[in-house]
Structure 1
Amino acid sequence: MPKLLLIEAMGNTGEYVLDAARELNVEVIVVTHQDVHDEWYSETLKAKIAADAKLVFTDFSDSEGALRQLAELARVEGVNGAVACWEFLTPLVARLTADLGLPGNDPTRALSCRNKRIMARAFAENGIPAPMTVAARTIEEAYALVRTAGLTCPVVVKPSEQSGSWGVSVVESDEELATAFTTAQSHLFQMPHGIPLDPHVIIQEYIGGVEFSVETVVAGGVATPLFPYDKFTTGGAIRAEFGHTVPAELDEASVRTLQQAAVAAAEALGITNGVAHTELKLLPDGTTRIIELGARLPGDHVVALMRQARGIDEAKIYVQLALGLVPSLAPTADTAAGIRFLTPPRGGVLRSVSGIGTSAAVAQSRLTVQPGGQVRPPGDNDSRVGYVILHADTAAEVNAAAAQVLTDVTVEVD
């Protein structure tokens, strides 16, 4: 039986990878912090690990020590592949697989898939269409670099290494830049693992257009893009994701343009064996700009949406690629699916969520914060209190049903 190292199963992709490994008859060793397992893992995830996997603890805040420990563990256990479900650990996995001679991505470029400052530089060096970007350690340096680069408001301010839309602001004036900069630089350790983060803040030109995501599968250096899908974000100064629809309804030329851009971005960042989640915008003139790329599975339950809409299980693909197998990418369904996240009007204590309704398109609804629980003010992905998954014949039907759900639902907070 093949063995797979699953480096940090926390997040909504860990369960999907464990399910895929079980279906593929692959033995899994899950590696995490003990306190993360005890305090952050859901009961469902703990149960899946207890039933189907071996559990090992390490300290990811000491990356060199963790690398040595995991390399020794992999050799002793006879591990055949390794994957990360937590984006911050994808560079560690690239180094580990290279050291072990296992399928993986280019370790010399792996940090460019995680650090947006290094990513922007790699895009520029490889001619990838992306927003103009500067990176600064201080607000004084930021103002100087913005002037030198000729950037004008609006601009996007974000941390170099955070995720989940945390600390991202659209800035409309020079006066707002200082506040946004301070917010972006306010957390320099990734929690709950204590991993130190790059203190640089990046400032990018604001790109209009419509945002999409594309998953790219790379097997032995050959990249195959899947279909683009919609990504919906809030407007205003703070941009948080509130949903996705799989697939997007686009003409063939737009689909090809987005797919070609996603493949070029993956190649520029050294994705040689694995998956790439790319976020990009389609402009009115038909051109694209790459916003960012992660060498990981998509979050937000997109794995489930793809499986439901097109019959493609990207978690299973991810496991197969890690083991050196060439997966089938042929769709087995032709429908659409979507997810919309429920957020509170303000921070406080959640009282209730009501009004989701009984539309035939609603396939599942779930609260991720129970009544009586504390909720964050809206502004990033951590403010979500639940989600609704929808399924219909077409993306238009999914989007219409989703719009009705968001209109009808009421999130009450004390």
Structure 2
Amino acid sequence: MTLPGVLLLDAASPDAGALATAAAARGHQVHAATTAASYADYGPELKRLLAGRVVTAFTRPGRALDEVAAYARQHDVGAVLTVNEYLTELAAHLCAELGVPGNDPGRARTARDKAAMAEAFTAARVHAPHTVLARDDAELRTALADPRVGFPCVIKPLSAAGSAGVTVVTAPGGATEAADTARSAAGMYSRGGDPRVLVQAYAAGTEYSVESLTQGSATTHLAVTRKQVTGGAKRVETGHSLPVFLPPAVEAAVYREVEAAIGAAGIRNGASHTEVIVGGDGRCVVIEIGARLAAGQIGVLIQHSLGIDVWAALLDVALGHPPAITPTARGYATVRFVTSPHAGRLVSLRGFPRTGPGVPFVRWRAAIGGLVHEPDANGHRLGAFVVTGTEAAEVEERADALLRGIRVEVDPHPNPRPAPDSLTRANR
């Protein structure tokens, strides 16, 4: 019996590579829809896993849909997946075109366009911060004067990801610069800047995300993740920890809001990552939802703390099979992200952890001698490591201790300096 092929929309990330490995291990032929530039970043192991690829232009979604659908039919593809935030809408349309399990194509834009998301949340009565779309500076001033927004407020782009272009504004004087920052945050496949920005009421409280898997519109919540986030104008994630056990009444309220958001976004078959804020009074507000597996090694955390193979589960859902999502372990896991102290050129790195007992995952992604950025978006991370164990306090203490032992030296001057031969780029 010939198994159906599995098609990945962009397979450049580690999570996509894990999906490809899971599919190939089961005997499926794995294909990738990619751009020429993205394929150049595929590692040799991933390239060996692929039975074929179709090169397209994701900047032209209609054309990409036609080209990828034609390729998929030719190669008997029976499952389409993506972990790329920017391709979830295309994935929904492609699944509908091929007649394979996927999300509602009519509502898939909701998980990518934050203005559409705010409208959908309002229509579905999801508790979310009041949000105003500002098309120009005049509408920006009107939005800031709206008493339902107030200060502090959040100014963000419509379709970027990873906290890029997002600013917490505490007074009117910072709004124009924040709006300019949001407008300059182009998405991965954007064909130009967007003059529109969102102005959103600030939600105070503790930030979490809920990792869920939906099949046939029935949702199972895999874990609640506590997010470590910087303060100030730029709220960049510095770590994730899971599982978190909220008080029963709070957990029920969070799940109720998350499920309403999943329905509003038309997520019917696949993963979702919902960011929420829980206030001091236990009330939950939904900030955003993504129709994908969470980034930032959250899949690794789930695998090592709960024993759930999220990549195999995603594959099963995409194929229309029941996924194995019952926890087989009762552990705890956390990830820490390493960032640069300031912009410049990376001179040296010392003390970065290696894999070993209780440290199952490390990744360093910055090149010695290369440019690094002051962290104002999640994409500016230099590396990450995961710590696991049975007790939350011990795991957190060990992760913090390892993070304190890392020394990153950055030359703030623009002139390049040669990388010393003794420095390594291992663990990227």
1:60–1:194 Cα contact (<8 Å) kept: no
Q: Residue in 2 aligned with 1:255? A: 251
2:182 partner letter: A
Q: Which residue of 1 aligns with 2:296?
A: 300
Do 1:281 and 1:288's aligned partners in 2 also have CA atoms closer than 8 Å?
yes
Is the Cα contact below 8 Å between 1:353 and 1:412 reproduced in 2?
A: yes
Distance of 2:97 and 2:159 partners within structure 1: 25
- Structure 1 residues 354 and 253: alpha-carbon distance in aligned structure 2, compared to 1, 3 A threshold: farther
- Residue 334 (structure 1) aligns with: 330
Supply the RMSD in Å over aligned alpha carbons: 1.8
Q: What amino acid sits opposite 1:55 in the alignment?
A: R
The residue correspondences of 1:13-412 to structure 2 (distance < 5 A) are 13-38=15-40, 41-43=41-43, 46-188=44-186, 190-191=187-188, 193-195=189-191, 198-356=194-352, 361-412=358-409
Q: Given residue 366 of structure 1, which amino acid in structure 2 is its aligned partner?
A: R
- 1:161, 1:197 within 8 Å by CA — same for their partners in 2? no
Q: What secondary structure, in the 3-state scheme, does the structure 2 residue paired with 1:153 have?
A: coil
Q: What secondary structure does 1:334 align onto?
A: coil
CA distance in 1, matches of 2:184, 2:216: 40
Partner Cα separation in structure 1 for residue 221 and residue 194 of structure 2:
30
> Is the CA contact 2:24–2:49 (under 8 Å) kept in the aligned structure 1?
no
Deviations 1:321-361 (A, max 9, x none): 11111212101111111110000110111122224568964
| Residues 349, 372 of structure 1: 8 Å contact kept | yes
Displacement after TM superposition at 1:87 (Å): 1.1
* Rounded Cα–Cα distance in structure 2 between residues aligned with 1:366 and 1:330: 28
Residues 356-376 of structure 1: per-residue CA shift (max 9 Å, x gap): 568964444332113222111
Between 1:175-184 and 1:354-363, the stretch displaced more is 354-363
Shift of 1:255: 2.8
Cα deviation, residue 381, structure 1:
1.5
Tell me the amino acid that sits aligned with residue 6 of structure 1. L
8 Å contact kept, 1:221–1:273:
yes
Alignment-mate amino acid for residue 286 of structure 2: I
CA contact (8 A) 1:245 1:398 kept: no
Query: Deviation of residue 213 (structure 1)?
Result: 1.0
Code of the aligned partner of 1:127: R
Partner secondary structure for residue 323 of structure 2: coil
- Could you tell which deviates more after superposition, 145-154 or 75-84? 145-154
SS in 2 for 1:73: helix
2-side partners of 1:66 and 1:268: how far apart?
26
Q: CA deviation at 1:204?
A: 0.7
> Do the aligned residues in 2 keep the contact of 1:247 with 1:395 (CA within 8 Å)?
no
262-271 or 154-163, which deviates more: 262-271
Q: Distance in 2 between matches of 1:375 and 1:288?
A: 36
Q: Would the aligned equivalents of 2:387 and 2:395 in 1 still touch at CA under 8 Å?
A: yes
Which range moved further: 90-99 or 360-369? 360-369
Query: 1:12·1:300 contact (CA, 8 Å) conserved in 2?
Result: no
Call closer, same or farther: CA 1:219–1:286 in 2, change over 3 Å.
same
TM-score of the pair, normalised by structure 2: 0.91
Query: Residue by residue, what CA displacement relative to the aligned partner does 1:23-50 show, whole Å, maximum 9, x if unpaired?
Result: 3322211010012211xx253xx42232
Instruction: Give the C-alpha shift of residue 314 in structure 1.
Output: 1.6
Kindly indicate whether the alpha-carbon contact (under 8 Å) linking 1:87 and 1:296 is maintained by their aligned counterparts in 2: yes
Cα distance change, pair 365–69 in 1 and its aligned pair in 2 (3 A):
closer
Amino acid paired to 1:180:
A
- TM value normalised by structure 1: 0.94
Q: Aligned partners of 2:248, 2:139: CA distance in 1, in Å?
A: 44
Distance 1:75 1:196, change over 3 A: farther
Aligned residues: 408
Residues 37-85 of structure 1, C-alpha deviation per residue, up to 9 Å, x if partnerless? 11xx253xx4223234322211111111111111211222221121122
